[in-house]
Amino acid sequence: MVALSRLSAPRSPSYLLPSLLALALFTLLFLYKVDDFVTSTKTMAGHNLEPTPWHIFPAKSFDDETRQSRAYKIIQCSYLSCPYFNRSIMKRPRFQTNKLAAQCPEFFSHIHRDLAPWVKSGITENQVMEAKNFAAFRIVIFQGRLYLDPYYACFQSRMMVTIWGFIQLLRKYPGMVPDVDLMFDCMDKPILNRTERQSNPVPLFRYCTTREHFDIPFPDWSFWGWSEINIKPWSEEFPDIKKGSQAKRWAAKQPRAFWKGNPDVVSPVRLELLQCNDSRKWGAQIMRQDWVQEAREGFEASKLSNQCTYR
């Protein structure tokens, strides 16, 4: 990044660093919880730290409709809106494995690492069914079409937006997405301990994992937008941040590292970070994000594009 900004214009203000800081904040937002020690760690809409099951997926009521339209709606899809699909899009070429593997970009090495526990044994149906015990939903992709089995309600709009991501993937790469059967949990904390489950690894997807867990990481859903906390889809949010970062000249920005987030999330690293809040000694400003207050005020003060005032 530094090299890039030097190449383009050595003296002109660079939006890259503020954008990076904003991006870091964005990532931290993803792991947010509300400052509430008394009733353990809670978010506005419940808590997303405990393992699933959290609460059963609520059944939709169709009582107020005619039987015919009710049946039609249930068949269409009960929980997510998919009012119609375009048959000509559905007719897609069969999945082709040729050439693709040879051209995999470098980041595929991470996928190989994440799936390493199953490289020799393969994934058995029993293992997938065991993963179901921890899953909030199951996604099956068969011949380019997505099938969903929701088990438990997910935190805020996580499930909907995650599935939306899969649908975009299918749209964008017709005929290139192979048949898969995925169990998915949407709470933050990984739960499948590698030491304890060494003999029988369980393949479960979620947004976070560690080296000590089998949980398979999946991209952060909020890049497709997080309406509850005023984060737009990344394609809109990113230009906004870029624009925000240009509002102040580079030289006029405050010369310090800036971090804003919720430290009360059972994370020792974040608690340690609080001790670095000294702009003279460390050149750092560490700010506490109060989600309850932000929620009350419509998340105006936590707008990412307004926080590019540091260099």
Ligand X SMILES: *[C@@H]1O[C@H](CO)[C@@H](O)[C@H](O)[C@H]1NC(C)=O
* Residue 202 near ligand X by CB under 6 A: no
Edge-to-edge strands, sheet with 137-142: 145-150, 137-142, 180-184, 205-206, 216-217
Which is nearer to ligand X, 158 or 253 (by Cβ)? 253
Which is nearer to ligand X, 16 or 287 (by Cβ)? 287
Which is nearer to ligand X, 104 or 169 (by Cβ)? 169
Which is nearer to ligand X, 51 or 79 (by Cβ)? 51
Stretch that binds ligand X, among 30-38, 101-109, 188-196, 302-310 (CB under 6 A): 188-196
- Residues 61, 66, 88, 97: which binds ligand X (CB under 6 A)? 88
Beta-bridge partners for 139: 148, 182
Q: What angle do CA 132, 146, 134 make, to 5 degrees?
A: 15
* Residue 275 near ligand X by CB under 6 A: no
Total of chain residues touching ligand X, rule CB under 6 A: 13
* Residue 274 near ligand X by CB under 6 A: yes
List the structure tokens of 174: 């017709």
Stretch that binds ligand X, among 53-61, 180-188, 189-197, 242-250 (CB under 6 A): 189-197
Q: What is the nearest approach in angstroms of ligand X to the Cβ of residue 311?
A: 17
Q: What is the nearest approach in angstroms of ligand X to the Cβ of residue 282?
A: 11
Stretch that binds ligand X, among 3-11, 95-103, 224-232, 285-293 (CB under 6 A): 285-293
- Residues 89, 111, 252, 266: which binds ligand X (CB under 6 A)? 89
* Residue 199 near ligand X by CB under 6 A: no
Stretch that binds ligand X, among 70-78, 121-129, 190-198, 241-249 (CB under 6 A): 190-198
- Residues 61, 195, 199, 275: which binds ligand X (CB under 6 A)? 195
Q: Which residues bind ligand X (CB under 6 A)?
A: 86, 88-89, 193, 195-196, 212, 274, 277, 285-288
